[in-house]
Chains A and B, each alone.
Chain A
Amino acid sequence: MTNLIAYIPALPLAGFLLLFFTGRRMSKSMIAFVGAGSVCIAALLTIVIGITFLQSGSSANTQTLWQWMRVGNFSCDISLRLDALSLVFVFIISFVGALIHIYSIAFMRQDEDYARFFASMNLFVFSMLVLVLADNLVLLYLGWEGVGLCSYLLIGFWYKVPANCAAANKAFFITRIGDTAMAIGLFMLFKTLGTLNIADIQQQAATIPNVTTIALLLLMGGMGKSAQVPLQTWLPDAMAGPSPVSALIHAATMVTAGVYLVARMNVLFLLSPAAMNVVAVVGAITLFVAGCSALVQTDIKRILAYSTISQVGYMFLALGCGAWSAAIFHFFTHAFFKALLFLAAGVVIESLHHEHNIFKMGGLKNKMPLLYYTFLAGASALAALPFISAGFYSKDAILWYSWSAGNGNVMLWAVALTGAFITALYSARLVIVVFWGDMKTPIAQQPGKLMTMPLVTLAILSIIAGFVQWPHNLLHVTLFADLVEKVLPATVLKQGIPPELLLQLIAAVVTLGGAYTGYLLYYKSPHIIEQWKTAEPNLNLREFFVKGWRFDELYQTLFVKPFLFITRSNKADVFDKIHQWLVTACSRLNGWLSLSQNGSLRWYIGSMLVGIIFILALQFFL
C-alpha cells in the first residue's frame, strides 16, 4: 500500500495540468468532471490508504520518489511520509476538499472562468497535500509557497474588481513576511544540523544551541499563514474570493498550515519553553482580538473570517500549552463546521442576490429549512454547545488543558473562557439575525442537490465528529488522541487543578450563557443593543472592533507611510544617476573605439604591426 501514497497528491496535480492546458476547450460538465473527480478519487484513495495504515499499526510510511537536488553534502528528496498526524491532515484536505469541489460544481456554474477556478483549486489541493506529506522541510516549503500562490490566485479570482486584487495582494504580502521569517528559520536549522529531513531534525534537536530563535522564526511563518496576531489582517479581506475558496482555503485547510508546522516541529518547541509560551500567548491574544471583531461585523463572510482567526487562535493556544492532540482535534472538528458555515453562507449570499449584510437578511428559517438546520448544526459546533456538537468536545479539551496542561495557567484559561462566551454570542447573533425574524430580501433561488449534499454531509459530521474523543471524566473514548499521540507527545498534566468536571460545568454554563445573551439581545429585546450602540463611547469601541482593532491603520502609519515618504524624497532617483553614468561611459568608449574603425586598410595593418611589435617586445622580458 505504501506505493499508493504518491497518488493522493498526484491526482489533483493531474487534474490541474489537464485543466490548465486544455481547460479552455472543455465543456463545463467535462471541467467539473475532471476538477471535482480528481479530488474525489484522491479522497477515496485517502480513506483506503488510511484504513490500511491504521490496520498495519506501523508508525510511519515513507515513500521516496526521486532525488530532488544534491549540492555537496546536502541532498533533498521528493519523499512523502505518511504518519498519524499527516493522515489526519490528508484526510481533512482530501475529504472536505472533495465535498467543497462537488459544491463548487453548482456554485460556480454561471462563472465564465470555470476551468481556471477548478485548475486553481486542484493546484491548491495538490500543494496542501505536498505540504502535509512532505518528508523534509524543503518539500514542505514548496507546498507552503504553493498554497500561498493558490490563495493569492483564488482571492483575486474575480480580478476585474480592483478591491479583490488589492485583497489578494494584501494576503500575499503579509503571508510573505511570515514566509521570509520561516525561510530564515530553515536556513538556520540547516546551518546547525546540516539536514532538513524532519525525522533527522527530531532526532538531533537536542543538539541545537539556538533552538528558541529557530522555533520563533518557524512560528512566525505559521503566524503569517494561520492569520495570528500581528499578521492576521489579511484573512478578513481574503473573503473577496468565492465562498468555496473561503471554505476550503481560508477556513478548513490552509490557515491551519501553521498549526501543522508547529505540531510537526513539536520537538523544537518542547525544547524551548519560551517559544511555547509565545505560541500560547499569541493564540490567546488572537482568539480574543478576533472574537471581539467578529461580534460587531455585519458582513456574513467577515464574521466567519474573524471566527476562523479566533478558532485557529484556540489551536495555537492548545499547542502552546502542550496539548498537542487537543489542537489537532480542534483542527479536525473545526474543518467540518467552518467549511459547512462558509458553504452555507455562500448559499445564503447566492439566494439573496449577493447580499452580504446580515441585517438585510432574515426570515430564512421557514423558506429554506434544510439550509437553516445545517447552518444551525455548524453554528452550534462553532459555539461548542455541550454534547450535541463536535465543537464542544474539541474546545472543551482545549479549555481544560489551557489550565491543566504543563504549560497552561489560569490566565490563559480565563481568556479562552471569555473567548468561548464571545464565540457563543456571535454564533447566536449570526443564526438569529440571518434566519429568524422578518424577511428583508426576497429569495432568488433554492440550492440544488449538488450544493445541499455537501452541506448535509458536513452538518452530520459537525455533530458526530466529536464522538471519537470524549473528556476523560465522562466516557473513556480516546480514539483520536490514541491515533495522534503515536506521533505527538502526550499531554502532561499539572497537579493541584480544580476538578475537571467543575471546569466543564463552568465552560458549559458560559457557552449557554453566551448563546442565551445572543438570544436576548438580538431576538427578545433588541432595544438594549440599539441603545448600547447609540451611546457615544460605545460607538467608538464598536468602530474600533469593526475595523479589526485598527491593525490596518497601525500598519499604514508604521510601515506604509514612512516607506512612501522615502520614495517621495527620492523622486529624483539618485541611484539612477549611477546607472546613467555607466551608460554614458559605455557609449563614450564606443565612440572612441569606433574612431579606430575608420575604413582605412593601411591603418588596420599598422595597428596589427604595433600589436606584433608589442608582443615580440614582451619576449624580451619573459
Chain B
Amino acid sequence: MSLLFYISSVVAIVATLLVITCHRPIHALLYLVVSFLAVSMIFLSLGAPFVAVLEVILYAGAIIVLLIFVVMMLNLGQEAALQEKQWLQPKVWVGPSILVAVLLLEMSILLLRGESAAIQPAVDMKRISLVLFKEYVIAVELVGFLLMAGIVGAAHIGKHKKKHPHRFLQNGKENGHADNNENNKEVKPGELLKEEMIHN
C-alpha cells in the first residue's frame, strides 16, 4: 500500500509540474487528467474508495471536459502555444516560484514539526452517508443552492445576447470619439477673434 502511495504521489507531482509549465492548453489538460487520476490513487491508498471514484468522475470527467470544451471553442492552437512560450520567460516565473518555495518550506517545517500518527482503518460508505444526511444536511442543502446558482449564473453569463461592450464602455468610446472630433474642429484663437468681430 505504501508503495502505491509513493508511486502515485510522484506521478501526481510530476504531472502537475508539467501542467503548469506546458505551453499548449490541450496538453496541459491531458497532464491534468493524469494528475487527477494519480490523486485518485492516493485516495484509494488512504482507504477512501468513494472519494477516489468521485475524483475520477467529477474532476477527471466533468471538469476536464468543461475545460476542453472551452479550449476547443476558443480554438486555442498553435499561436496560443507560441504566446505562452513568449510569456513564460524566466524573469516572469523566478520571483513567484521563490515565494512559493518559501511557503512550501514553511508548510513542510510546520507539518514535520507536528506528531505523525498512523492512519486509522478506512471509513465505510455507510457512515459517510449517515453523517452527510444527518449532521451536514443543511450544508448539503446549501451546496445544492450553490450548484444551482452556479448553473444559473453560468447560463446567464454565457448567453451571447450582446455582441457589443457594455453601454458604459460604448458611450465612453463614442463620447471619446465625439470629443476628438470636436477637438479637431476646434477653431484657433485668431479665427475665434475674427468670428467675433464679424458678429459684432
Contact = CB atoms under 8 A, between A and B. Distances in A.
Contacts of A612: 103
Nearest to A612: B103
B65 to A, nearest CB: 25
A609 B110 CA distance: 17
A15 to B, nearest CB: 59
Contact of A616 (B96, B99, B100, B110): B110
Interface in A578-622: 602, 606, 609-610, 612-613, 616-617, 619-620
A606 B110 contact: no
Interface string B105-120: 0110110000000000
Nearest to B96: A606
Interface string A173-201: 00000000000000000000000000000
B106 A609 contact: no
A395 B186 CA distance: 92
Interface string A358-401: 00000000000000000000000000000000000000000000
Contacts of A602: 96
B107 A609 contact: no
Secondary structure class of chain B's binding surface, majority of residues:
helix
Nearest to B110: A619
B99 A613 contact: yes
Nearest to A615: B106
Majority secondary structure, A binding face: helix
A155 B23 CA distance: 88
B191 to A, nearest CB: 41
A602 B96 CA distance: 10
B103 A613 contact: yes
Interface in B101-148: 102-103, 106-107, 109-110
Contacts of B100: 609
Interface string B57-98: 000000000000000000000000000000000000000100
Nearest to A614: B106
Contact of B99 (A606, A617, A619, A620): A606
B110 A613 contact: no
Nearest to B95: A606
A617 B96 contact: no
Contacts of A617: 106
Contacts of B102: 613
B108 to A, nearest CB: 11
12 contacts: A602-B96, A606-B99, A609-B96, A609-B99, A613-B99, A613-B102, A613-B103, A613-B106, A616-B103, A616-B106, A617-B106, A619-B110
Interface of B: 96, 99-100, 102-103, 106-107, 109-110
Given A609-B99, A612-B103, 15 more contacts: A602-B96, A606-B96, A606-B99, A609-B96, A609-B100, A609-B103, A610-B99, A613-B99, A616-B106, A616-B110, A617-B106, A619-B106, A619-B110, A620-B106, A620-B109
